[in-house]
Amino acid sequence: MLKDITIGQYFPGTSVIHRLDPRMKIVLTIVYVVLLFLVENLAGFVLSVVFVLAAYLIARIPVKMIAKSIKPILPILLFTMLLNLFFVRGTVIWQWGVLEITREGVRLSVLMVIRILCLIAGTSLLTYTTSPMTLTDGIERLLKPLGKVHFPVHELAMMMTIALRFIPTLVEETEKIMAAQKARGADMETGSLIHRAKALVPILIPLFLSAFRRAEELALAMECRCYHGGKGRTRMKQMHLAPRDLWALLLTAAALAAVIVCNIFFGSLYG
Amino acid sequence: MGTILTLEHLTYTYSPDTPFEKVALDDIDLSIEAGEFVGVIGHTGSGKSTLIQHMNGLLQPTKGRVLFRGRDIWEDKKKLRQIRFAVGLVFQYPEYQLFEETVEKDIAFGPTNMGLSPDEIKGRVREAASLVGLPEALLKKSPFELSGGQKRRVAIAGVIAMRPQVLILDEPTAGLDPRGREMILRQIKEYHTKMGNTVLLVSHSMDDVARFASRVLVMNRSRVFAYDTPEAVFCRGGELREIGLSVPQMTMVADALRQRGYPLPEGIYTVEQAAQALLLLFRGGDAPC
């Protein structure tokens, strides 16, 4: 059950997309999100779906992973769909009491759903193809200019790195503690809501204790190795842009341009 | 008493259909007789921990069956909890799962889940505490005030208090000092003799296994390498070394002596046996060749 959390779950591979510079991948993901919000017509939507699917194929990430990452936001998806379905004014095609569905509503809700799906698929691809450590390195480099205004970029990146590093550890720890309490007959799956909330106590207390213990040990270990923040710190792995990064940028820019052109020539669906 | 646990063609795969897919158990067939003291040995990653988690239904086999007293434990999922009370499992570093305000309450967690009466629970807590050698005075203390070894014993008592028919311990002495190790091992042995139930002890120490076990289960690369009496298993010293395991120190000493020409019998694996064989040899007056 805990293993179903896919955010930040890296899917190792050696595809071109895996090897892209993390900075470029972050920028491209942002560009893709912007693209999704610029799209105004069917041609644009087709383009954005094809774009993200092609990226999955190139990265050799099984497409069913998209389904996995969508599962947690299914309620939001449904809510958006219903909201658009019932509250958009226009040509009424179905009516029951105060509820009415319009042609525009149907169209818009379908498009909204596609947009959200692409959004999730696109951003998940970033975390599927980039290891968390590389990702935070990329973020740190991208945010570096902010350091000029005394924004603690390095500290922030270090916090993110540590947090990301410890997610799998804590998940594993939780599973272990759950198994141990289950072995003593703890029942977490049945009973009323209050009963189930109470059943969490035997898991949360040991988990908190171990998280604090780990934090303390880590702080000590870092101090032992003379960690003193980002000042004067050099990197073992330098990031360099390669030709493939430029090609990726070019392709994404072309997609963005195509969407804008579509908007100009095919008009808008939003009327 | 007959067979208590049977594993049939047990196979388990972690994270199937992902790049992390890993077969942890590969077609395991095993039956454990009631009343045995089984020592389980194997490398880290040989499948020991996965194996024992199948025995009380914490993991569901990918393929194959787990039988407890002849019945498939997955036949009726509602009865799984009963299986967990009957097959007590003490995990590695069990002190990290303590959570109650007092030692007494923590040991009582299992029995309370079984739905026993308060008097019965109280009796079992005392019994379990004395079995692992915890003084009464500690029962009212917070488990977090205790020393590492004491915490460990509280955690073991928490499982023993359920009076399981099979007690499985995953490296109960890991991270303890020699005295703590010795105490825990001796108490487990005592518990086994007193209660006459089945005990499975996972350990990295060949010597501990040699001293206490009536059967030895050797796991290697997700499979059962051997399941036999200690004599029979430690006779295969060469093969054991080949898979990166060793034999008990006394077996090594006996082998070395034999190589130097002292006619010691095979199948020596404890200090007592070695002492006896040597005495016999010297009193018999056999001169070294």
A12 touches chain B (CB under 8 A): yes
Q: Which residues in chain A have Cβ-Cβ distances shorter than 8 Å to B19? A: 11-13
In a 13 Å sphere around the CA of A196, the CA atoms on its Cβ side amount to 6
- Decide if B53 touches A, using CB distance below 8 A: yes
The average confidence (pLDDT) of chain B is: 89
CA distance A156 to B34: 57
Are B19 and A180 an interchain contact pair (Cβ–Cβ within 8 Å)? Answer: no
* Residue linked to tokens 């309370």: B112
Residues facing residue B31 across a β-bridge: B6
pLDDT score for A6: 44
The residue in chain B having the minimum alpha-carbon distance to the alpha carbon of residue A179 is: B58
Residues in Cβ contact with B62 at an 8 Å cutoff, skipping those fewer than 6 apart: B11, B12, B13, B16
CB < 8 Å to A186, chain B: 109, 113
CA distance B109 to chain A (A): 7
Taking CB atoms within 8 Å and a gap of at least 24, the contacts of A221-225 are: none
Percent of chain A with pLDDT over 70: 96
Enumerate the residues of chain A whose CB falls inside 8 A of the CB of residue B110.
184-185
What's the pTM value of the predicted model, to 2 decimals? 0.73
pLDDT score recorded for residue B206: 87
> What is the pLDDT, as a whole number, of residue A177?
92
What is the pLDDT averaged over residues B122-127?
94
Q: Cβ contacts (< 8 Å) between B113 and chain A: which residues?
A: 184-187
Nearest CB to B84; choose among A3, A13, A182: A182
CB contacts under 8 A, B 161-200 vs A, are 162
Q: What is the pLDDT of residue A265?
A: 85
Q: Is B98 close to A206, i.e. CB distance below 8 A? A: yes
- Any CB–CB contact under 8 A between B149 and chain A? no
Please say whether the beta carbons of A85 and A101 come within 8 A. Answer: yes
Band of residue B164 on the pLDDT scale cut at 50, 70, 90: very high
User: Cβ separation of B19 and A12 shorter than 8 Å?
Assistant: yes
Answer whether A202 touches B (CB < 8 Å).
Answer: yes
pLDDT tens digits, residue range A77-118? 999 888 888 887 777 777 777 778 888 888 888 888 999 999
- What are B33's strand-pairing partners? B3
Q: Does A206 contact B109 at a Cβ distance shorter than 8 Å?
A: no
What is the tens place of the pLDDT at every residue in B233-281?
888 888 888 888 888 888 888 888 888 988 888 888 888 888 888 888 8
pLDDT of residue A69: 81
Q: What interface predicted TM-score (ipTM) does this complex get? A: 0.85
- pLDDT for the residue numbered A270: 62
Torsion sign over Cα A83, A87, A88, A91:
positive
A13-29 pLDDT, tens per residue? 888 899 999 999 999 99
B179-208 as b/e: b if 16+ CB within 10 A: ebbebbbebbbebbeebebbbbbbbebbbb
Between residues A150 and B36, which one has the greater pLDDT? B36
List the pLDDT tens digit at each of the 271 positions of chain A. 455 444 457 888 888 899 999 999 999 999 999 999 998 888 888 999 999 999 999 998 888 888 888 888 889 899 988 888 888 777 777 777 777 888 888 888 888 899 999 999 999 899 889 888 888 889 888 988 888 888 888 888 888 888 877 887 888 899 999 999 999 988 877 778 888 888 889 999 999 999 999 999 999 999 999 888 777 778 787 888 889 999 999 999 999 999 999 888 887 766 5
Please name the member of A13, A201, A206 whose beta carbon is closest to the beta carbon of B97: A206
Search chain B and give the residue with CA nearest A181: B97
Give residue-wise pLDDT tens across range A207-226. Answer: 999 999 999 999 999 999 98
Selecting from A11, A13, A187 the residue whose C-beta is nearest the C-beta of B113 gives A187
Contact B97 A3 (CB under 8 A): no
Q: Which of B58, B88, B98 sits opposite A182 (nearest CB)?
A: B58
Task: Give the sign of the dihedral formed by CA A180, CA A181, CA A182, CA A188.
Answer: negative
Q: Does A182 touch chain B (CB under 8 A)?
A: yes
B186 Cα to chain A: minimum distance (Å)? 23
**Length of chain B as a residue count:** 289
Out of B89, B109, B159, closest to residue A202 by CB:
B109
Query: Cβ contact (<8 Å) for B15 and A3?
Result: yes
Q: Is A201 on the interface with B (CB under 8 A)?
A: yes
CATH class, B1-75+165-179+189-230 region: alpha beta
* Residue B1 scores a pLDDT above 80: no
B97 CB near a chain A CB, below 8 Å? yes
CB contact under 8 A, A184 and B94: no
Distance from CA of B196 to the nearest CA of A (A): 21
Q: Which of A129, A120, A118, A128 is nearest to A17 (CA)?
A: A129
Q: How far is residue A119's CA from residue A29's CA, in Å, rounded to a whole number?
A: 9
Q: What are the phi and psi torsion angles at B240 (to 5°)? A: -60, -40
Average pLDDT over residues B164-191: 91
Is A128 in CB contact (< 8 Å) with chain B? no
The contacts of residue B123 (CB under 8 Å, 6+ apart) are none
Residues of B in contact with A183 (CB under 8 A): 56, 58, 84, 88-89, 91, 159
* Gap between the Cα atoms of A83 and B80, Å rounded: 44
The predicted pLDDT at position A7 comes to 47
* Number of inter-chain CB pairs under 8 A, A vs B: 56
Angstrom distance (rounded) from CA B159 to CA B167: 8
Is residue B207 within 8 A of residue B248, CB to CB? The reply is yes
At B242, phi and psi to the nearest 5?
-60, -40
Mean pLDDT within B138-142: 92
Three-state helix/strand/coil letters over B184-240:
HHHHHHHHHHHHCCEEEEECCCHHHHHHHCCEEEEEECCEEEEEECHHHHHCCHHHH
Residue-wise pLDDT for B217-226, tens only, equals 999 989 999 9
